[in-house]
Structure 1
Amino acid sequence: MVAKKVQQRLGYKTGEYVVYPSHGVGVIVAIEEQEVAGLTLELFVISFEQDKLTLRVPVAKIKSVGMRKLAEEDEVKKALDTVTGRARVKRTMWSRRAQEYEAKINSGDLIAISEVVRDLYRSEEQPEQSYSERQLFEQAMDRMSREISAVKKLTLTEAVQLIEKQLAKSPKRTKADAADAESDEEAA
Protein backbone atom coordinates (compact mmCIF):
# COMPACT_ATOMS: atom_id res chain seq x y z
CA MET A 1 0.00 0.00 0.00
CA VAL A 2 1.16 3.53 -0.76
CA ALA A 3 2.22 5.62 2.25
CA LYS A 4 -0.62 7.84 3.46
CA LYS A 5 -0.22 11.40 2.35
CA VAL A 6 -1.85 14.11 4.43
CA GLN A 7 -4.74 15.58 2.52
CA GLN A 8 -6.56 18.76 3.42
CA ARG A 9 -10.05 20.09 2.60
CA LEU A 10 -11.94 23.05 4.09
CA GLY A 11 -9.36 23.40 6.85
CA TYR A 12 -9.67 19.73 7.87
CA LYS A 13 -6.84 17.29 7.29
CA THR A 14 -6.26 13.56 7.65
CA GLY A 15 -5.15 12.49 11.12
CA GLU A 16 -7.09 15.36 12.73
CA TYR A 17 -9.66 14.82 15.49
CA VAL A 18 -13.13 16.22 14.81
CA VAL A 19 -16.50 16.22 16.58
CA TYR A 20 -19.46 14.76 14.72
CA PRO A 21 -22.59 15.77 16.70
CA SER A 22 -24.42 12.46 16.84
CA HIS A 23 -21.32 10.27 17.35
CA GLY A 24 -18.82 12.36 19.31
CA VAL A 25 -15.06 12.51 18.71
CA GLY A 26 -13.57 10.77 15.71
CA VAL A 27 -10.44 11.04 13.61
CA ILE A 28 -10.30 11.76 9.87
CA VAL A 29 -8.48 8.75 8.45
CA ALA A 30 -8.81 9.64 4.75
CA ILE A 31 -10.34 11.97 2.20
CA GLU A 32 -11.55 9.95 -0.74
CA GLU A 33 -13.61 10.26 -3.89
CA GLN A 34 -16.50 7.94 -4.58
CA GLU A 35 -18.93 7.76 -7.46
CA VAL A 36 -22.56 7.72 -6.33
CA ALA A 37 -25.40 7.70 -8.87
CA GLY A 38 -23.10 9.02 -11.57
CA LEU A 39 -21.79 11.88 -9.43
CA THR A 40 -18.30 12.02 -7.99
CA LEU A 41 -18.39 12.91 -4.29
CA GLU A 42 -15.46 13.87 -2.13
CA LEU A 43 -15.84 12.24 1.30
CA PHE A 44 -14.20 12.54 4.69
CA VAL A 45 -13.68 9.06 6.15
CA ILE A 46 -14.04 9.42 9.92
CA SER A 47 -13.22 6.61 12.33
CA PHE A 48 -14.79 6.40 15.79
CA GLU A 49 -12.45 3.96 17.54
CA GLN A 50 -14.50 3.27 20.70
CA ASP A 51 -17.68 2.57 18.71
CA LYS A 52 -15.87 0.59 16.00
CA LEU A 53 -17.63 2.84 13.49
CA THR A 54 -16.46 4.39 10.23
CA LEU A 55 -18.46 7.24 8.77
CA ARG A 56 -18.19 8.73 5.29
CA VAL A 57 -19.33 12.35 5.19
CA PRO A 58 -19.55 14.31 1.93
CA VAL A 59 -17.23 17.33 2.13
CA ALA A 60 -20.10 19.55 0.93
CA LYS A 61 -22.28 18.47 3.90
CA ILE A 62 -19.80 19.29 6.68
CA LYS A 63 -21.56 22.51 7.73
CA SER A 64 -25.12 21.12 7.52
CA VAL A 65 -24.33 18.02 9.65
CA GLY A 66 -22.61 20.20 12.25
CA MET A 67 -19.15 18.60 12.15
CA ARG A 68 -16.57 20.79 13.87
CA LYS A 69 -12.98 20.86 15.04
CA LEU A 70 -12.18 19.99 18.66
CA ALA A 71 -12.95 22.64 21.25
CA GLU A 72 -10.23 25.12 22.16
CA GLU A 73 -8.58 25.00 25.58
CA ASP A 74 -10.66 27.93 26.88
CA GLU A 75 -13.92 26.21 25.86
CA VAL A 76 -12.80 23.06 27.72
CA LYS A 77 -12.14 25.21 30.80
CA LYS A 78 -15.61 26.76 30.45
CA ALA A 79 -17.17 23.27 30.17
CA LEU A 80 -15.31 22.12 33.30
CA ASP A 81 -16.48 25.26 35.11
CA THR A 82 -20.05 24.51 33.97
CA VAL A 83 -20.06 21.11 35.70
CA THR A 84 -19.10 22.73 39.01
CA GLY A 85 -22.22 24.91 38.90
CA ARG A 86 -25.53 24.22 40.62
CA ALA A 87 -27.72 21.69 38.81
CA ARG A 88 -30.57 23.39 36.97
CA VAL A 89 -33.33 20.82 36.83
CA LYS A 90 -36.52 22.09 35.26
CA ARG A 91 -39.75 21.17 36.96
CA THR A 92 -41.21 19.51 33.87
CA MET A 93 -42.10 15.91 33.16
CA TRP A 94 -39.14 13.56 32.81
CA SER A 95 -40.01 12.64 29.22
CA ARG A 96 -39.75 16.30 28.16
CA ARG A 97 -36.47 16.81 30.06
CA ALA A 98 -35.07 13.57 28.62
CA GLN A 99 -35.76 14.85 25.09
CA GLU A 100 -34.02 18.13 25.90
CA TYR A 101 -31.01 16.30 27.36
CA GLU A 102 -30.83 14.03 24.31
CA ALA A 103 -30.93 17.07 22.00
CA LYS A 104 -28.11 18.74 23.96
CA ILE A 105 -25.98 15.58 23.81
CA ASN A 106 -26.53 15.20 20.05
CA SER A 107 -25.87 18.90 19.40
CA GLY A 108 -22.15 18.21 19.67
CA ASP A 109 -21.78 21.44 21.69
CA LEU A 110 -19.32 20.78 24.54
CA ILE A 111 -20.95 23.37 26.85
CA ALA A 112 -24.45 21.92 26.30
CA ILE A 113 -23.12 18.41 26.98
CA SER A 114 -21.42 19.63 30.18
CA GLU A 115 -24.79 21.06 31.31
CA VAL A 116 -26.34 17.58 30.96
CA VAL A 117 -23.46 16.06 32.96
CA ARG A 118 -23.97 18.70 35.66
CA ASP A 119 -27.76 18.33 35.80
CA LEU A 120 -27.81 14.52 35.90
CA TYR A 121 -24.83 13.96 38.22
CA ARG A 122 -25.58 12.17 41.50
CA SER A 123 -23.08 11.90 44.33
CA GLU A 124 -22.95 8.88 46.66
CA GLU A 125 -25.25 10.43 49.29
CA GLN A 126 -27.95 11.36 46.77
CA PRO A 127 -30.87 9.15 45.74
CA GLU A 128 -30.49 6.59 42.96
CA GLN A 129 -31.07 7.61 39.36
CA SER A 130 -33.65 5.98 37.15
CA TYR A 131 -32.31 3.76 34.37
CA SER A 132 -33.00 6.38 31.69
CA GLU A 133 -31.35 9.15 33.75
CA ARG A 134 -28.28 6.97 34.22
CA GLN A 135 -28.13 6.18 30.47
CA LEU A 136 -28.29 9.87 29.51
CA PHE A 137 -25.70 10.80 32.15
CA GLU A 138 -23.29 8.11 30.92
CA GLN A 139 -23.80 9.14 27.29
CA ALA A 140 -23.09 12.80 28.10
CA MET A 141 -20.12 11.89 30.31
CA ASP A 142 -18.71 9.71 27.53
CA ARG A 143 -19.00 12.48 24.89
CA MET A 144 -17.52 15.10 27.22
CA SER A 145 -14.63 12.92 28.40
CA ARG A 146 -13.71 11.86 24.85
CA GLU A 147 -13.44 15.45 23.69
CA ILE A 148 -11.51 16.57 26.78
CA SER A 149 -9.13 13.62 26.45
CA ALA A 150 -8.46 14.53 22.79
CA VAL A 151 -7.98 18.25 23.51
CA LYS A 152 -5.83 17.85 26.62
CA LYS A 153 -4.08 14.72 25.28
CA LEU A 154 -5.13 12.64 28.29
CA THR A 155 -6.27 9.05 28.48
CA LEU A 156 -10.04 8.57 28.64
CA THR A 157 -9.72 7.52 32.29
CA GLU A 158 -7.76 10.68 33.17
CA ALA A 159 -10.39 12.82 31.43
CA VAL A 160 -13.22 11.12 33.36
CA GLN A 161 -11.30 11.64 36.63
CA LEU A 162 -10.80 15.33 35.79
CA ILE A 163 -14.56 15.78 35.18
CA GLU A 164 -15.44 13.83 38.35
CA LYS A 165 -13.04 16.01 40.36
CA GLN A 166 -14.87 19.10 39.05
CA LEU A 167 -18.27 17.53 39.77
CA ALA A 168 -17.19 16.90 43.38
CA LYS A 169 -16.75 20.68 43.78
CA SER A 170 -20.34 21.40 42.74
CA PRO A 171 -22.93 22.48 45.31
CA LYS A 172 -24.57 19.34 46.65
CA ARG A 173 -28.19 18.60 45.97
CA THR A 174 -29.79 17.24 49.10
CA LYS A 175 -32.14 14.29 49.20
CA ALA A 176 -34.93 16.76 49.97
CA ASP A 177 -34.21 18.69 46.73
CA ALA A 178 -34.31 15.48 44.71
CA ALA A 179 -37.48 14.32 46.46
CA ASP A 180 -39.12 17.68 45.67
CA ALA A 181 -38.17 17.31 42.02
CA GLU A 182 -39.59 13.79 41.92
CA SER A 183 -42.86 14.77 43.63
CA ASP A 184 -43.24 17.67 41.19
CA GLU A 185 -42.61 15.21 38.36
CA GLU A 186 -45.29 12.82 39.60
CA ALA A 187 -47.77 15.68 40.03
CA ALA A 188 -47.20 16.86 36.43
Structure 2
Amino acid sequence: MFNVGDSVVYPYHGAGTIKDMEEKDILGEKLIYYVVYFPLNHVTLMLPENRIKESGLRKIIESNQLEEVANALKTSEVPEKKEAARPYSKENETLLKSGCILDAASVIANLTSKQGERNNGLHMEDRKNLDRAKQFIISELVLVNEMSEEEAMSFIEENAHGA
Protein backbone atom coordinates (compact mmCIF):
# COMPACT_ATOMS: atom_id res chain seq x y z
CA MET A 1 0.00 0.00 0.00
CA PHE A 2 2.49 2.62 1.22
CA ASN A 3 6.21 2.47 1.95
CA VAL A 4 8.62 4.29 4.22
CA GLY A 5 9.66 7.50 2.44
CA ASP A 6 6.36 7.94 0.55
CA SER A 7 4.89 11.44 0.52
CA VAL A 8 1.24 11.27 1.53
CA VAL A 9 -1.70 13.52 2.38
CA TYR A 10 -3.94 13.02 5.39
CA PRO A 11 -7.23 14.95 5.48
CA TYR A 12 -7.11 18.13 7.50
CA HIS A 13 -3.42 17.66 8.37
CA GLY A 14 -1.99 18.15 4.90
CA ALA A 15 1.03 16.48 3.37
CA GLY A 16 3.69 14.55 5.17
CA THR A 17 6.13 11.69 4.82
CA ILE A 18 5.92 8.12 6.05
CA LYS A 19 8.92 7.93 8.36
CA ASP A 20 8.52 4.40 9.66
CA MET A 21 6.29 1.35 9.94
CA GLU A 22 6.01 -0.17 13.40
CA GLU A 23 4.42 -3.34 14.64
CA LYS A 24 2.53 -2.87 17.90
CA ASP A 25 0.87 -5.45 20.09
CA ILE A 26 -2.48 -4.01 21.14
CA LEU A 27 -4.57 -6.23 23.42
CA GLY A 28 -2.94 -9.34 22.04
CA GLU A 29 -3.41 -8.31 18.41
CA LYS A 30 -0.38 -7.39 16.29
CA LEU A 31 -1.02 -4.32 14.15
CA ILE A 32 1.21 -2.47 11.69
CA TYR A 33 1.22 1.31 12.09
CA TYR A 34 2.43 3.90 9.62
CA VAL A 35 4.36 6.68 11.35
CA VAL A 36 3.67 9.86 9.36
CA TYR A 37 5.41 13.17 10.00
CA PHE A 38 3.75 16.43 8.89
CA PRO A 39 6.51 19.08 8.68
CA LEU A 40 4.32 22.16 8.26
CA ASN A 41 2.67 21.74 11.65
CA HIS A 42 5.36 19.51 13.24
CA VAL A 43 2.97 16.65 14.00
CA THR A 44 3.64 12.91 13.95
CA LEU A 45 0.72 10.51 13.68
CA MET A 46 0.58 6.75 13.93
CA LEU A 47 -2.06 5.33 11.60
CA PRO A 48 -3.03 1.64 11.78
CA GLU A 49 -2.60 -0.12 8.44
CA ASN A 50 -6.02 -1.79 8.70
CA ARG A 51 -7.76 1.62 8.83
CA ILE A 52 -5.82 3.41 6.09
CA LYS A 53 -8.52 3.13 3.45
CA GLU A 54 -11.24 4.78 5.53
CA SER A 55 -8.80 7.37 6.94
CA GLY A 56 -8.47 9.10 3.57
CA LEU A 57 -4.67 8.82 3.48
CA ARG A 58 -3.48 9.15 -0.11
CA LYS A 59 -0.30 9.72 -2.10
CA ILE A 60 0.46 13.33 -3.03
CA ILE A 61 -0.55 14.55 -6.47
CA GLU A 62 1.82 14.30 -9.43
CA SER A 63 3.48 17.49 -10.70
CA ASN A 64 1.50 17.16 -13.96
CA GLN A 65 -1.67 17.84 -11.91
CA LEU A 66 -0.54 21.34 -10.86
CA GLU A 67 -2.43 22.93 -13.77
CA GLU A 68 -5.63 21.32 -12.47
CA VAL A 69 -4.96 22.84 -9.04
CA ALA A 70 -4.28 26.24 -10.62
CA ASN A 71 -7.61 26.05 -12.47
CA ALA A 72 -9.47 25.07 -9.29
CA LEU A 73 -7.97 28.10 -7.54
CA LYS A 74 -9.43 30.33 -10.27
CA THR A 75 -12.92 28.83 -10.32
CA SER A 76 -15.30 30.18 -7.73
CA GLU A 77 -18.75 28.75 -7.18
CA VAL A 78 -20.12 31.19 -4.62
CA PRO A 79 -23.91 30.89 -4.47
CA GLU A 80 -25.69 33.64 -6.38
CA LYS A 81 -28.19 34.30 -3.60
CA LYS A 82 -26.70 36.75 -1.15
CA GLU A 83 -27.49 35.76 2.40
CA ALA A 84 -26.64 38.48 4.85
CA ALA A 85 -23.64 37.61 7.00
CA ARG A 86 -23.99 33.84 6.50
CA PRO A 87 -20.57 32.23 6.60
CA TYR A 88 -20.10 29.11 4.48
CA SER A 89 -17.94 27.55 7.16
CA LYS A 90 -19.73 24.17 7.35
CA GLU A 91 -19.50 23.59 3.60
CA ASN A 92 -15.86 24.68 3.61
CA GLU A 93 -14.98 22.49 6.60
CA THR A 94 -16.54 19.51 4.83
CA LEU A 95 -14.45 20.23 1.74
CA LEU A 96 -11.28 20.58 3.82
CA LYS A 97 -11.93 17.29 5.61
CA SER A 98 -12.12 15.46 2.28
CA GLY A 99 -8.34 15.57 1.93
CA CYS A 100 -8.63 16.46 -1.75
CA ILE A 101 -6.33 19.25 -2.95
CA LEU A 102 -8.93 20.36 -5.50
CA ASP A 103 -11.51 20.76 -2.71
CA ALA A 104 -9.04 22.88 -0.74
CA ALA A 105 -8.41 24.96 -3.88
CA SER A 106 -12.17 25.40 -4.25
CA VAL A 107 -12.39 26.70 -0.67
CA ILE A 108 -9.68 29.25 -1.46
CA ALA A 109 -11.41 30.32 -4.69
CA ASN A 110 -14.79 30.67 -2.99
CA LEU A 111 -13.51 32.55 0.04
CA THR A 112 -11.22 34.79 -2.02
CA SER A 113 -14.19 35.72 -4.20
CA LYS A 114 -16.36 36.31 -1.14
CA GLN A 115 -13.61 38.40 0.46
CA GLY A 116 -13.55 40.65 -2.61
CA GLU A 117 -17.31 41.21 -2.38
CA ARG A 118 -17.35 42.20 1.29
CA ASN A 119 -16.40 45.64 2.58
CA ASN A 120 -15.46 44.42 6.04
CA GLY A 121 -13.60 41.22 5.11
CA LEU A 122 -14.42 37.62 5.93
CA HIS A 123 -16.04 36.22 9.06
CA MET A 124 -13.60 34.69 11.54
CA GLU A 125 -14.56 31.08 10.63
CA ASP A 126 -14.12 31.85 6.93
CA ARG A 127 -10.69 33.40 7.60
CA LYS A 128 -9.67 30.27 9.54
CA ASN A 129 -10.87 28.01 6.73
CA LEU A 130 -9.05 30.13 4.14
CA ASP A 131 -5.83 29.83 6.15
CA ARG A 132 -6.33 26.07 6.65
CA ALA A 133 -6.93 25.56 2.93
CA LYS A 134 -3.78 27.53 2.06
CA GLN A 135 -1.67 25.59 4.57
CA PHE A 136 -3.10 22.30 3.30
CA ILE A 137 -2.16 23.12 -0.30
CA ILE A 138 1.22 24.58 0.66
CA SER A 139 2.11 21.39 2.54
CA GLU A 140 1.43 19.32 -0.59
CA LEU A 141 3.06 21.69 -3.10
CA VAL A 142 6.26 21.73 -1.04
CA LEU A 143 6.53 17.95 -1.51
CA VAL A 144 5.18 17.74 -5.09
CA ASN A 145 7.42 20.24 -6.79
CA GLU A 146 10.10 20.78 -4.16
CA MET A 147 8.88 24.36 -3.76
CA SER A 148 9.66 26.48 -0.75
CA GLU A 149 6.72 27.53 1.40
CA GLU A 150 7.06 31.03 -0.10
CA GLU A 151 6.95 29.68 -3.67
CA ALA A 152 3.90 27.58 -2.82
CA MET A 153 2.12 30.64 -1.37
CA SER A 154 3.02 32.62 -4.50
CA PHE A 155 1.54 29.82 -6.64
CA ILE A 156 -1.72 30.09 -4.68
CA GLU A 157 -1.81 33.89 -4.80
CA GLU A 158 -1.00 34.05 -8.52
CA ASN A 159 -3.76 31.60 -9.38
CA ALA A 160 -6.51 32.57 -6.94
CA HIS A 161 -8.34 35.53 -8.38
CA GLY A 162 -8.00 38.58 -6.19
CA ALA A 163 -5.89 36.83 -3.54
- Aligned partner of 2:134 in structure 1 is 141
Structure 1 gap segments, 5+ residues each? 1-9, 173-188
Q: Which runs of 4+ in 1 moved over 6 A?
A: none
Q: Residue 52 of structure 1: CA displacement?
A: 2.2
| Corresponding position of 2:77 | 88
Q: Deviations over 1:108-153 (max 9, x none)?
A: 1111110001001167796322222111101101101211121111
In 1, distance between residues paired with 2:72 and 2:102? 7
Q: In 2 relative to 1, CA 126–161 (structure 1 residues): closer, same or farther, beyond 3 Å? A: farther
The CA RMSD over aligned residues, in Å, is: 2.0
CA distance in 1, matches of 2:117, 2:92: 23
Q: TM-score, normalised by structure 2?
A: 0.87
Q: Determine which structure has more spread, i.e. the larger CA radius of gyration.
A: 1
Indicate the residue corresponding to 2:21 in structure 1.
31
2:109 pairs, out of 107, 118, 126, with 118
Rounded Cα–Cα distance in structure 2 between residues aligned with 1:152 and 1:70: 10
Match of 1:101 in 2: 92
Q: How many residues align?
A: 157
Describe the superposition over 1:9-61 as per-residue Cα deviations: whole angstroms up to 9, x where unpaired. Answer: x1x21122100113111110101100101100001001112222111111111
Whose relative contact order is higher, 1 or 2, with alpha carbons under 8 Å and at least 6 apart? 2
| % same residue | 25
- Please list every run of 5 or more consecutive structure 2 residues that lacks an aligned counterpart in the other structure: none
Whole-Å separation in 1 of the counterparts to 2:158 and 2:100:
21
After superposition, what is the alpha-carbon deviation per residue over 1:62-95, rounded to whole angstroms, capped at 9, x for unaligned?
A: 111110000122332101111122x221246735
Hey, what's the Cα distance between the residues in 2 that align with 1:105 and 1:125?
22
**Contact 2:10–2:57 at 8 Å: present in 1 too?**
yes
